[in-house]
Amino acid sequence: MAGIRIVNLSKEYRINGRKINALSDVNLEVEDKSFVTVVGRSGCGKTTLLRILCGLEEKSQGQIFFTNSKGDVTSSRPKLSMVFQEHRLMPWLTVGENMAFALGREDPKVRRRKVDMHLELLGLTKFKDAYPHQISGGMAQRVALGRTLCYDPEIILMDEPLGALDAFTRQNLQGEIVKLFINKQKTVVFVTHDVDEAILLGQQVVIMDKGRIKKQLAIGLPYPRRPDSERFFKYRQEILGAIMGEQGD
């Protein structure tokens, strides 16, 4: 059980002496077992935020705390896992082996049981012995999701995991991610540049612009959501307005 509290987080990069403020004074509360989507234009700092959260990148300033279900700061670091836009499966391992890999040195019987369970859950049983190059992009991303679920983290960070998929596959997987979230009760931070995807998935939508959080919006719609409802339309307008803002480009 874990949430995240981000306090005054900033990140600067330097390229040839030129300073880039990838994140400026970001404050965000991700409650335990909540689904937060982060949406914004390319280059607004979404990936940097996730990379800092999972420890792949150093922050420049600010603090990151992990919290328990009551919202109190804990000293223990929760189990955390990241899903990327590219599946990052190991090409020399089968689908089943890729998923088992996440289970490390667990007892072989337990490993087999967990892998089989997640293969079943994600409709991958038939592909257990296939290699990554033998399956479609959507299937591979499903395997990447399965691998993460086998690892069983408390917090899942997703960086545009559906970004490379065709619209139809994407829609299917969006639905499945919502179902998984409801059943598995994980804390999720999901990054996307797709406004509809942000509203379909998130209980909270965080809108980023030029390294800052511009707006945060609670989405008061029950799952599964329909993009053609009037309230959905209103959220879309509000988010697009915040992203396009003054610049209107």
Ligand X SMILES: Nc1ncnc2c1ncn2[C@@H]1O[C@H](COP(=O)(O)OP(=O)(O)O)[C@@H](O)[C@H]1O
Residues that bind ligand X (CB under 6 A): 13, 15, 20, 22, 40, 42-48
Min CB(46)–Mg ion separation in Å: 5
Q: Which is nearer to ligand X, 18 or 226 (CB)?
A: 18
Give alpha helix (H) positions in 42-83.
Answer: 46-53
Q: Which of Mg ion, ligand X, none does residue 44 bind (CB under 5 to 8 Å by kind)?
A: ligand X
Is the Cβ–Cβ distance between 237 and 229 less than 8 Å? no
Element of type H or E holding 137: helix 137-151
Q: Which is nearer to ligand X, 73 or 244 (CB)?
A: 244
Q: Which is nearer to ligand X, 106 or 209 (CB)?
A: 209
Which of 143, 130, 127 lies closest to 87 in space, CA to CA?
A: 143
List of residues contacting Mg ion (CB under 5 A): 46-47
Q: Which of Mg ion, ligand X, none does residue 22 bind (CB under 5 to 8 Å by kind)?
A: ligand X
Is the Cβ–Cβ distance between 89 and 161 less than 8 Å? no
In this structure, the strands spanning 155-159 and 187-192 are parallel
Min CB(185)–ligand X separation in Å: 27
Min CB(237)–Mg ion separation in Å: 24
Min CB(243)–ligand X separation in Å: 12
Structure tokens at 110: 């337990």
Element of type H or E holding 121: helix 108-121
Q: Which of ligand X, Mg ion, none does residue 183 bind (CB under 5 to 8 Å by kind)?
A: none
Q: Which is nearer to ligand X, 28 or 102 (CB)?
A: 28
DSSP 225: P
